[in-house]
A and B are shown apart, each in its own frame.
Chain A
Amino acid sequence: MEFDGTTFALEIINFLVLVWLLQHFLYQPVTAAIAQRQAGIEKILADAQATRSAADALKFQYENRTAEWEQEKAEARRQLQQEMEAERSRRMAALQAALDEERNKLRAVEQRRDLEQRQHLEAEAIAEGGRFAGRLLSSLASPELENRILLLLLDNLRHLPEQQVHALRAAGQSGELKVISTYTLNEAQRAGLTEAFVVLAECPVGCEFDQDPTLIAGLRISIGPWVLRASLLDELHFFAEAQHATVRH
């Protein structure tokens, strides 16, 4: 155990030099490398954290966006539903109106067709009835019936209204008298008829007599523009036309 001053002093210097050497070549570079790596790790961690935060933010935004999109979708679907309902209602109303109009038209057409068919049937029934009455009257027609019709005509001529008397008189004075009968008139009948018209015309009248079996029974007398229809055929026509007019109205 010996103390040497030179060694003591040199060891102090040696140690201080060693401190400088290690500080310069070991501690500073190594701690700097560690610090640099630590900074790199912290930067990577910070970047990762930032990336994670950004990802979380994006996720949050995406979730919000998804929720908003779902809401928008639901709203759009609701609006579309409403518009479809409104359009369906409008089209249904239009279709209903068109159907009603068509139904009304169809009903009117049906009614018109029924009416026309009924009128046609009635007309046919009237015509058939006329034909039946004509055949019945044809089988019942006779000169006696025609004589009775002549007598009825002469009676009616005597009771004609004044206005018609004037019209017939004017026609008798300017024209010729043509008498068409179903059966051949005898002289008394022709004379009675001529006399009646002479009295009516108050002047001599030329009479021309003819026959038409289709008249069934009775007479058809033409005076100028006037025609006096006093036959069963004309009566049947008259009744048929009257029925036609009644049916049409």
Chain B
Amino acid sequence: MASSSSFITEIMRIGPLVITNTVVVTWGIMLVLGLVAWAASRHLSATPGPWQVVVEGIVASIEAAIRSVLPDHYRQVMPFIATLWIFIVVANLASLIPGLRSPTGDLSLTAGLAILVFLAVHWYGIRTNGLRSYLRHYLQPNPILLPFHLISEITRTVALAVRLFGNIFSLQMAALLVLLVAGFLAPVPVLMLHIIEAVVQAYIFGMLALIYVAGAIQSQQLKSKREKE
């Protein structure tokens, strides 16, 4: 079992593929979320019970948040953004379970999510505005700004990945150090801070992704609307 860092461990190897604990925990999270979703949607009724109220409240809150940013296209981006929020929250909080660690403390996962956001931004932008119209917005308001647009695309994607990774990794590291230095119950306040930080970072990641997607979708629409006016 190879260990490349203090948190990432290799679980198994399938040919050239190295399966780390990050992937295994992610599979576990996927399994749990899939089962919860399946269980939650099995007996939906017109008169909801407490469990259904909680589930509907979460989904409705996410949908309302997305709709407030993208009123016309919230149904398109809802699965992607909502899954980002739910997965990152659960992944961030996974380290509260003894023996587990947050998969978001792995740069490979956060980079993957950031790349997905990067691709989703262009996917939704092209799908909504068309390829030519979408690419044209890189030349506006002046073609001289094209390099800055390209740099911005790269840096914000890198920032997404590094921000989430850095926060979660540092929290886990701080909790480990406090545990090593101060003793058994000393990291509890740090873990409480971890809960807040987990929710906040998930919100930030998802909201930034939503804003990037909204910018891509609405870049040409706002311009054409202004021209019509």
- A: residues with CB less than 8 A from B are 1-12, 14-19, 21-23, 25-27, 29-31, 33-34, 36-37, 40
- B: residues with CB less than 8 A from A are 4-5, 8, 16-20, 22-23, 26-27, 29-30, 33-34, 37-38, 40-41, 44-46, 48, 52, 55-56, 59-60, 63, 78-80, 82-83, 86-87, 103, 106-109, 111-113, 115-116, 165, 169
- A25 in contact with B37 (CB, 8 Å): yes
B18 neighbours in A (Cβ, 8 Å): 4, 6-7
- A2 in contact with B34 (CB, 8 Å): no
- B27 in contact with A14 (CB, 8 Å): yes
A30 neighbours in B (Cβ, 8 Å): 40-41, 44, 55-56, 59
Q: Closest chain A residue to B30 by CB distance?
A: A18
B87 neighbours in A (Cβ, 8 Å): 15, 18
Q: Closest chain A residue to B31 by CB distance?
A: A21
**Nearest Cβ on chain A to B6's Cβ, whole angstroms:** 11
Bound CA span A29–B40, Å = 9
- B111 in contact with A25 (CB, 8 Å): no
- B4 in contact with A10 (CB, 8 Å): no
**Nearest Cβ on chain B to A95's Cβ, whole angstroms:** 81
Bound CA span A40–B48, Å = 14
Q: Closest chain B residue to A7 by CB distance?
A: B108
User: Per a CB cutoff under 8 Å, which of A6, A7, A12, A29 touches B44?
Assistant: A29
Bound CA span A30–B63, Å = 11
Bound CA span A11–B115, Å = 11
- A40 in contact with B17 (CB, 8 Å): no
A-B contact pairs, 13 of them (CB 8 A): A2-B5, A2-B108, A4-B8, A5-B108, A9-B112, A11-B23, A14-B23, A18-B29, A22-B86, A25-B38, A31-B63, A33-B52, A36-B46
- B106 in contact with A7 (CB, 8 Å): yes
- A2 in contact with B41 (CB, 8 Å): no
Task: Taking A6-B20, A25-B38, A25-B41 as given, write out 7 further A-B residue pairs in contact, using a Cβ cutoff of 8 Å, ordered by the A residue number.
Answer: A2-B107, A7-B20, A11-B103, A15-B113, A21-B33, A21-B34, A23-B83
- A2 in contact with B4 (CB, 8 Å): yes
**Nearest Cβ on chain A to B137's Cβ, whole angstroms:** 26
- A34 in contact with B59 (CB, 8 Å): yes
- B41 in contact with A11 (CB, 8 Å): no
- A22 in contact with B82 (CB, 8 Å): yes
Bound CA span A3–B37, Å = 31
A26 neighbours in B (Cβ, 8 Å): 37, 40-41, 55, 59
- B34 in contact with A6 (CB, 8 Å): no
A18 neighbours in B (Cβ, 8 Å): 29-30, 33-34, 83, 87
- B30 in contact with A27 (CB, 8 Å): no
Bound CA span A26–B78, Å = 12
Bound CA span A37–B44, Å = 11
Bound CA span A9–B55, Å = 30
Bound CA span A2–B106, Å = 8
B26 neighbours in A (Cβ, 8 Å): 10-11, 14
A23 neighbours in B (Cβ, 8 Å): 79, 83
**Nearest Cβ on chain B to A176's Cβ, whole angstroms:** 149
Interface hub of B4, B60, B87, B108 (most chain A Cβ within 10 A) = B108
Bound CA span A11–B83, Å = 13
Bound CA span A26–B56, Å = 9
The 10 A-B pairs of least Cβ separation, nearest first, read A29-B41, A7-B108, A26-B37, A25-B37, A11-B112, A23-B79, A33-B44, A8-B108, A12-B112, A30-B59
A21 neighbours in B (Cβ, 8 Å): 30, 33-34, 37
**Nearest Cβ on chain B to A8's Cβ, whole angstroms:** 4
- A25 in contact with B20 (CB, 8 Å): no
A22 neighbours in B (Cβ, 8 Å): 33-34, 37, 79, 82-83, 86
